[in-house]
Amino acid sequence: MRCPFCGHLEDKVVDSRESREGDSIRRRRECLSCARRFTSYERVEEVPLVILKKDGRREPFDRQKLMKGLLLACQKRPVSLARIEDLVGDIQARLMERPDREIRSRELGELIMDELKGLDQVAYVRFASVYRDFKDLPDFVRALEGLMHKEAAGGSDPPPRVKPSAPVTEPSTAVARALFPTEAESTAKRTRRK
């Protein structure tokens, strides 16, 4: 390493220590020409993850943005903050393991939805409704029906993609009951909770 005082290229390391955070190594060096000491730091060079958006823009992966989205999806759900943080860490670790540093936003969204489906189905539907940009109630109902169909069949495959082409005039009976319970069902549920 070049001496900052005399410009000589040869030195010897007299002391090495890891930083408190563990992300760098501090080295004290002594120039073999002028005998003055200086400090250098070694850090791992990280190539940042980049998210390729639908419109072609690229933006750096933002852990906080992912956390915020998951917190919104899991709002008022029985999912602990620690579990959400673990989920964010798992997703980030899976992205870091990939050889490609550019990830399409679609791939990231699908990965998040796969993880959310196992965590909380209501949070999954909330996230999917924003991510897949549901335009109206029929889109939402189709996603719910797909999820309920898979659950009833005992399968773990993702629900079918929502296709807004075929209009749904009335939701199925099971979905309608779940979304719009009759007065008698509502009263029965309230009575059971007490």
Give the structural domain span for 147.
50-162
Q: Is residue 181 part of a domain?
A: no
pTM for the model = 0.55
Residues 83 and 122 grouped into a single domain: yes
Pairing of β 50-52 and β 102-104? parallel
Residues 70 and 28 grouped into a single domain: no
**Residue 63 φ/ψ, nearest 5 degrees:** -60, -40
CA distances in angstroms from 170 to 133, 139, 176, 178, listed in the order given: 20, 12, 8, 14
Residues 26 and 95 grouped into a single domain: no
Q: Tell me how far apart the alpha carbons of residues 114 and 129 are, in angstroms, rounded to a whole number.
A: 14
Q: Are 63 and 88 in contact (CB under 8 A)?
A: yes
Residues 29 and 62 grouped into a single domain: no
pLDDT per residue, tens digit, the chain (194 aa), is 899 999 999 999 999 998 777 778 999 999 999 999 999 988 876 778 999 998 999 999 999 999 999 999 999 999 999 899 999 989 988 998 888 889 999 899 989 988 988 888 888 888 887 777 777 777 777 777 776 776 666 654 444 444 444 444 444 555 545 444 455 454 455 455 55
The number of folded domains in the chain is: 2
Residues 60 and 15 grouped into a single domain: no
Residues 55 and 147 grouped into a single domain: yes
At 135, list the tokens: 């335009």
**Residue 59 φ/ψ, nearest 5 degrees:** -140, 150
Residues 119 and 156 grouped into a single domain: yes
Angle at 192 between CA 187 and CA 194, to 5 degrees: 100
Residues 6+ apart with CB under 8 A from 65: none
Q: Is residue 188 part of a domain?
A: no
Residues 62 and 153 grouped into a single domain: yes
Residues 110 and 23 grouped into a single domain: no
Q: Is residue 79 part of a domain?
A: yes
Residues 34 and 111 grouped into a single domain: no
